[in-house]
Chains A and B, each alone.
Chain A
Amino acid sequence: MQGNTRRTGIMTDVHRRFLQLLMTHGVLEECDVKRLQKHCYKVHDCNATIEKLEDFINNINSVLESLYIEIKKGVTEDDGRPIYALVNLATTSISKMASDFAENELDLFRKALELIIDSDTGFASSTNILNLVDQLKGKKMRKKEAEHVLQKFVQSKWLIEKEGEFTLHGRAILEMDQYIRETYPDAVKVCNICRSLLIQGQSCETCGIRMHLPCVAKYFQSNSEPHCPHCNDYWPHEVPEVFDPEKERETGMSRSNKRSLRSRQH
């Protein structure tokens, strides 16, 4: 096969199982996705060479395209880990969550989402979210219950919690990108480097442009004197390290051990 030639559009049981399992998990980090792929090959076609992940996914996406579904790749905002989720592109709502949560729970999520988008740091405090429980649609919810629901969101990877504050999980950013842009067109923030939706990041104190932490890491890599790409002012924040999957495996660091930069660097 030459360069770009691929057998595109072929779905075998390997791909189908991959899709089923990816759907079940909701969102997966790249290392887990690779393991999943390997597992699917093992089950269905153990003699085949495992296709490169990018091609494997492009292959599947080409088939799913006509259903408005795709496997979307994103990057976690705090430490730049690649993640993957099966996303429906045509929905402009939070319908993916609708199957798992009641009406008032969904509304709580919407309220939290709005606070997060409006905030400067990309985080909404638990207190502020809970203060809105009276405004929820559907069955009345008590604050205690709402706390529990927020934890459910964290467990199912829609929100991340840090020190009593909540922000969007990478999964939510991937899946609800369109919904967010359409619902909050004015409040939405965008990264100066990659132009995609920004919830957490660093911002220039002079001109106000924002960048994702992983984008900052890449942009200022090995630059000892970082300057704002827009106004050229000195960049005052600490530049994080670029995510390196190899290094992580070697040192065996777990995610929770890693010090991830908080977004409060505005």
Chain B
Amino acid sequence: MSHASKRRRCVLEEGSETQSVLAVVEEDTSSSSTCSSSFPSSSSSSSSSFCPLILSSPEEELNVIPGPLGPPQDPSQGLSQDPSQGPSQNPPSSFLSPTAVASPMSQSEDGSSSQKEESLSTSEALPNAESLPRNVINDKVADLVEFLLLKYRTKELTTKAEMLNVVIQDYQDHFPEIFREASECLQLAFGVDVKEVDPSDDSYVLVTTLGLTCDGMMSDGETMPKNGILIVILSMIFMEGDCVSEEKVWEVLNVMGVYDGTDHFIYGEPRELITRVLVQEQYFEYRQVPNSDPARYEFLWGPRAHAEICKMTLLEFLAKISGSDPRAFPLWYEEALRQQEERAQSGITTTDDTSAMASESSSAPSSSFCPE
């Protein structure tokens, strides 16, 4: 990626390599088909069957936006489009760049935006771009995506104020636009959703929309081990209704060989993990049982669990372990259905990773979360 390393954000020089080649959406192969991710061309545009996911402007090559593709790579990248493939043939997939590439087409309506030169034309800005140059928006979107990815990795909440302060800075008026594009990018490219947690203070959390599984390898990373114990406890809570007492949790964990106060070779110190780490990451709520004296505690599903985990998948997994069928557990089945409906209404898409979870062996849960 020499082009980007040459200069931060300034890709003007690179324009010279522009070929009018589009990835995928374009069925026009007149331009060198070996040129990778290149720019909206003047060639015939197929109007994408995906609505412009990313704000697009019939932009040129230079604007390295989430929309139109970035400056062309060296042809050695060897990517070329398959002319016969239109977006309509790939319903489950989404295009990040190509769609947006397509949209400039639809914007210009006739693909006449043959922006082959490198001139940065701000006049191309769309009416709703509010006269902010496309490249500036693009830069800000890329910045915001990076910022939010960091938040995703650290599993922290963020607020609108923080985003404005750290990323958007001078372009506060354009926040909605930038935020929307960044959210779309995150969803399209990473399967990460920016969920509003609390409308009153505009706080957001970054969650995966891909469903929870282990990451497929024994590693010293934390994702896999935590998932094991996580799923076990979440299942228990699910089965009990909506909360489970701490005592019960320890009973089950003991069966798995995990004991309070004893360091476990995978989970570390279990109490720390389940009452602090996983609570902080919002997978659980850990609260005192009301009016309990001496104080007893219970676990509930946390907001992140509600967002990330599909109850139906969990149920199918549990059913499989016990060698039966989700419908054999009418109450839970109903609950899972209810969640599905709620999600469908609020437009959250979750992948059914039944195959992943159910395929894991039903033996000791802690080891079952590693398909290999």
B189–A7 contact, CB under 8 A?
Answer: no
Q: Is A193 an interface residue (CB 8 A)?
A: no
**C-alpha spacing A84/B262, complex, angstroms:** 36
B97–A16 contact, CB under 8 A?
Answer: no
CB within 8 Å of B: which A4-22 residues: 4-13, 15-17, 19-21
Give chain B residues whose Cβ lies under 8 Å from the Cβ of A38. 216
Q: Is B52 an interface residue (CB 8 A)?
A: no
Partner among A1, A16, A35, A58 whose Cβ is within 8 Å of the Cβ of B190: A16
User: Would A7 and B24 be within 8 Å (CB), given that A20-B192, A36-B216 are in contact?
Assistant: yes
CB within 8 Å of B: which A65-101 residues: 65-70, 72, 88-92, 95, 98-100
B68 CB, nearest partner CB in chain A, Å: 7
B189–A19 contact, CB under 8 A?
Answer: yes
A66–B353 contact, CB under 8 A?
Answer: no
User: Would A39 and B217 be within 8 Å (CB), given that A10-B95, A99-B154 are in contact?
Assistant: yes
A10–B93 contact, CB under 8 A?
Answer: yes
Partner among A44, A58, A63, A66 whose Cβ is within 8 Å of the Cβ of B65: A66
Give chain B residues whose Cβ lies under 8 Å from the Cβ of A20. 190-192, 208, 210
Chain B 332-372 near chain A by CB (<8 Å), digits 1 or 0: 00000000000000000001010110010000000000011
A152 CB, nearest partner CB in chain B, Å: 14
B191–A17 contact, CB under 8 A?
Answer: yes
A77 CB, nearest partner CB in chain B, Å: 19
Q: Is B249 an interface residue (CB 8 A)?
A: no
Q: How many residues of A contact B (CB 8 A)?
A: 54
A11–B96 contact, CB under 8 A?
Answer: yes
In the complex, the chain B residue whose C-beta lies closest to that of A66 is B70
Q: Is B33 an interface residue (CB 8 A)?
A: yes
Partner among A15, A42, A65 whose Cβ is within 8 Å of the Cβ of B355: A42
A46–B355 contact, CB under 8 A?
Answer: yes
**C-alpha spacing A12/B188, complex, angstroms:** 8
B349 CB, nearest partner CB in chain A, Å: 10
Partner among B142, B153, B372 whose Cβ is within 8 Å of the Cβ of A67: B142
Q: Is B270 an interface residue (CB 8 A)?
A: no
Chain B 139-159 near chain A by CB (<8 Å), digits 1 or 0: 001100110011011100000
Q: Is A119 an interface residue (CB 8 A)?
A: no
Q: Is A207 an interface residue (CB 8 A)?
A: no
Q: At the interface, is chain B mostly helix, strand, loop or mixed?
A: loop
Interface pick from B72-80, B103-111, B276-284, B323-331: B72-80
Q: Is B94 an interface residue (CB 8 A)?
A: yes
**C-alpha spacing A62/B188, complex, angstroms:** 13
Give chain A residues whose Cβ lies under 8 Å from the Cβ of B95. 9-11, 63
Give chain A residues whose Cβ lies under 8 Å from the Cβ of B153. 23-24, 99
**C-alpha spacing A66/B36, complex, angstroms:** 13
User: Would A63 and B191 be within 8 Å (CB), given that A36-B216, A88-B146, A89-B4 are in contact?
Assistant: no
Chain B 58-77 near chain A by CB (<8 Å), digits 1 or 0: 00000011111111010001
Give chain A residues whose Cβ lies under 8 Å from the Cβ of B90. 7, 10, 12
Q: Is B305 an interface residue (CB 8 A)?
A: no
A17–B210 contact, CB under 8 A?
Answer: yes
A42–B216 contact, CB under 8 A?
Answer: yes
In the complex, the chain B residue whose C-beta lies closest to that of A100 is B154
B210–A35 contact, CB under 8 A?
Answer: no
Partner among A8, A32, A177 whose Cβ is within 8 Å of the Cβ of B81: A8
**C-alpha spacing A44/B93, complex, angstroms:** 12
**C-alpha spacing A90/B138, complex, angstroms:** 13
A8–B142 contact, CB under 8 A?
Answer: no
In the complex, the chain A residue whose C-beta lies closest to that of B219 is A25
Give chain A residues whose Cβ lies under 8 Å from the Cβ of B154. 99-100
A8–B190 contact, CB under 8 A?
Answer: no
Q: Is A178 an interface residue (CB 8 A)?
A: yes
**C-alpha spacing A19/B208, complex, angstroms:** 11
B188–A11 contact, CB under 8 A?
Answer: yes
User: Would A35 and B372 be within 8 Å (CB), given that A24-B223, A99-B154 are in contact?
Assistant: yes
In the complex, the chain B residue whose C-beta lies closest to that of A38 is B216
A10–B189 contact, CB under 8 A?
Answer: no
Q: Is B113 an interface residue (CB 8 A)?
A: no
User: Would A4 and B356 be within 8 Å (CB), given that A20-B210, A63-B97, A99-B150 are in contact?
Assistant: no
**C-alpha spacing A13/B351, complex, angstroms:** 8
A58–B79 contact, CB under 8 A?
Answer: yes
CB within 8 Å of A: which B1-36 residues: 1, 4-5, 8-9, 23-24, 33-34, 36
Give chain B residues whose Cβ lies under 8 Å from the Cβ of A1. 82
Give chain A residues whose Cβ lies under 8 Å from the Cβ of B150. 95, 98-99
Q: Is A242 an interface residue (CB 8 A)?
A: no
**C-alpha spacing A72/B5, complex, angstroms:** 12
Q: Is A64 an interface residue (CB 8 A)?
A: yes
Give chain A residues whose Cβ lies under 8 Å from the Cβ of B70. 65-66, 68
**C-alpha spacing A23/B70, complex, angstroms:** 22
B353–A44 contact, CB under 8 A?
Answer: yes
Q: Is B37 an interface residue (CB 8 A)?
A: yes
**C-alpha spacing A113/B34, complex, angstroms:** 40
User: Would A62 and B23 be within 8 Å (CB), given that A4-B79, A24-B215, A90-B8 are in contact?
Assistant: yes
Q: Which residues of B contact A (CB under 8 A)?
A: 1, 4-5, 8-9, 23-24, 33-34, 36-37, 64-71, 73, 77-82, 85, 90, 92-98, 138, 141-142, 145-146, 149-150, 152-154, 185, 188-192, 208, 210, 213, 215-217, 219, 221, 223, 351, 353, 355-356, 359, 371-372
Contacts A/B (CB < 8 Å), 5 sampled: A4-B78, A7-B24, A24-B221, A32-B217, A58-B78
Nearest 10 pairs between A and B by C-beta?
Answer: A39-B216, A16-B191, A65-B70, A62-B37, A8-B23, A89-B4, A9-B23, A43-B356, A66-B70, A8-B79
